[in-house]
């Protein structure tokens, strides 16, 4: 079992296509082992320090349980306890935790803190979410797409992302660009993905043959889509913008009328938590073509693969 090329997992842009495929292959193997109740303690006695500045359900539970299933230990450090960049400098935290733990996970607001932690840490740093990127989520998302649609059909698929050009959208762009998938993003004017992400992902897409398109019309994005994906309109830390965004994003709701434009066997995806009645209607997210809880489960298996490949776990 080979390690990933880079010390850290900060962005999918930093991964090669082969590394993404290695993550997916190991994720499938680990998922099968978990379902068959086979031990897979590849990280026996290894430890993960988890820093959470933002609330978390899926990220915390999947990493903590995942590390335990791999034979290791995960410790939660919330902002009140650690005071990252306030009670203590980011560099000092990184250096200290590197003496205790084998890896560091951080879920934070400022992407710069992820970069700074990685700069000063001697152990792998995993971006569990920042305001710019959410790589673990996007990797789990595309692993789910492969499960549902098949690996061989991947480059023939069209994914429509409807909503805010946020951290999830950015990481989906990087992943689609590496995997060669057609991704059409529909966002209101002024809420498109950041220019720096567009430039980098478009360059990656040119190299892989992927198609990434950004439009301001959810109808165009949804037509003949194999996958329709959305996220909350106001992310954590943007609660004050919620009323404004609810008005500006009103026509970007994923509802029964919009999904009729997709292929009959389309799947609906959402990274959760969801605001039913805002970005998506209950009949869509709770319908038979929704795979949101498969996505949520796959965070566990994909992140276990990431941990194993970053830490050089031994599968015997």
CATH of the domain at 51: 3.40.50.1370
Please tell me which residue in 164, 299, 301, 303 is annotated as part of the active site.
299
* Other CB atoms within 10 Å distance of the CB of residue 38: 10
Q: Does the active-site annotation cover 283?
A: no
6 in a structural domain: no
Question: Are 201 and 286 contained in the same domain?
Answer: yes
**Whole-number Cα distances in Å, 43 to 23, 24, 38, 106, 305:** 16, 18, 15, 19, 11
Q: Does the active-site annotation cover 231?
A: yes
Question: Are 64 and 147 contained in the same domain?
Answer: no
Question: Are 200 and 149 contained in the same domain?
Answer: yes
Q: Does the active-site annotation cover 253?
A: no
Alpha helices in 14-56 (DSSP H): 17-35
Please tell me which residue in 13, 40, 134, 270 is annotated as part of the active site.
134
The rounded distance, in Å, linking the Cα atoms of 62 and 74 is: 11
Please tell me which residue in 141, 204, 271, 301 is annotated as part of the active site.
271
316 in a structural domain: no
Question: Are 158 and 288 contained in the same domain?
Answer: yes
7 in a structural domain: no
Cβ 264 vs Cβ 226: under 8 Å: no
CA angle 148, 172, 291 (to 5 degrees): 30
pLDDT digits (tens), the chain, 316 positions:
678 999 999 999 999 999 999 999 999 999 999 999 999 999 999 999 999 998 899 999 999 999 999 999 999 998 788 888 888 999 999 999 999 999 999 999 999 999 999 999 999 999 999 999 999 999 999 999 999 999 998 999 999 999 999 999 999 999 999 999 999 999 999 999 999 999 999 999 999 999 999 999 999 999 999 999 999 998 766 677 888 999 999 999 999 999 999 999 999 999 999 999 999 999 999 999 999 999 999 999 999 999 999 998 765 4
What pTM, to 2 d.p., does this model score?
A: 0.96
Question: Are 59 and 86 contained in the same domain?
Answer: yes
Please tell me which residue in 111, 131, 136, 137 is annotated as part of the active site.
137
Domain that holds residue 107: 12-134+297-311
5 in a structural domain: no
In sequence order, which residues have a C-beta less than 8 Å from that of residue 223 and are 6 or more positions away?
261, 262
Question: Are 124 and 157 contained in the same domain?
Answer: no
3-class secondary structure, 276: strand
Please tell me which residue in 60, 107, 170, 270 is annotated as part of the active site.
107
Question: Are 27 and 124 contained in the same domain?
Answer: yes
Q: Does the active-site annotation cover 107?
A: yes
Question: Are 110 and 164 contained in the same domain?
Answer: no
Q: How many folded domains does the chain comprise? A: 2
2 in a structural domain: no
Indicate the burial class of 238 (C-beta count within 10 angstroms; 0-12, 13-18, 19 or more): middle
4 in a structural domain: no
Please tell me which residue in 8, 141, 204, 231 is annotated as part of the active site.
231
């Amino acid at each position: 079992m080979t390690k990933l090329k880079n010390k850290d997992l900060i962005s999918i842009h930093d991964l090669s296509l082969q590394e993404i495929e290695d993550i997916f292959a190991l994720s499938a193997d680990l998922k099968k082992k978990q379902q068959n109740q086979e031990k897979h303690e590849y990280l026996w006695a290894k430890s993960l320090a988890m820093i959470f500045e933002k609330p978390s359900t899926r990220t915390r539970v999947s990493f903590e349980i995942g590390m335990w299933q791999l034979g290791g230990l995960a410790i939660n450090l919330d902002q009140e306890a650690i005071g990252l960049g306030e009670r203590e400098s980011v560099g000092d935290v990184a250096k200290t935790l590197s003496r205790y733990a084998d890896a560091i996970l951080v879920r934070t607001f400022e992407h710069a803190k992820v970069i700074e932690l990685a700069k000063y840490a001697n152990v792998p740093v995993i971006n569990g979410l920042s305001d710019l990127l959410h790589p673990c989520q996007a990797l789990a998302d595309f692993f789910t797409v492969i499960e549902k649609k098949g690996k061989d059909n991947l480059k023939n698929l069209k994914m429509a992302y409807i909503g805010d050009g946020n951290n999830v959208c950015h990481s989906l762009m990087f992943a689609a660009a590496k995997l060669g998938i057609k991704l059409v993003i529909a966002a209101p004017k002024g809420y498109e993905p950041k220019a720096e992400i567009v430039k980098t992902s478009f360059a990656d897409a040119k190299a892989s043959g992927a198609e990434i398109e950004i439009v301001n019309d959810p109808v165009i994005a949804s037509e003949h889509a194999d996958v329709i994906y959305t996220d909350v309109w106001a992310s954590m830390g943007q609660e004050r913008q919620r009323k404004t965004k609810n008005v500006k994003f009103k026509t970007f709701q994923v509802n029964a009328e919009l999904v009729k434009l997709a292929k009959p066997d389309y799947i609906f995806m959402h990274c959760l938590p969801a605001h039913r009645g805002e970005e998506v209607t209950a009949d869509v997210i709770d319908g038979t073509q929704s795979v949101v809880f498969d996505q949520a489960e796959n965070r566990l298996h994909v992140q276990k693969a990431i941990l194993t490949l970053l830490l050089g776990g031994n599968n015997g």
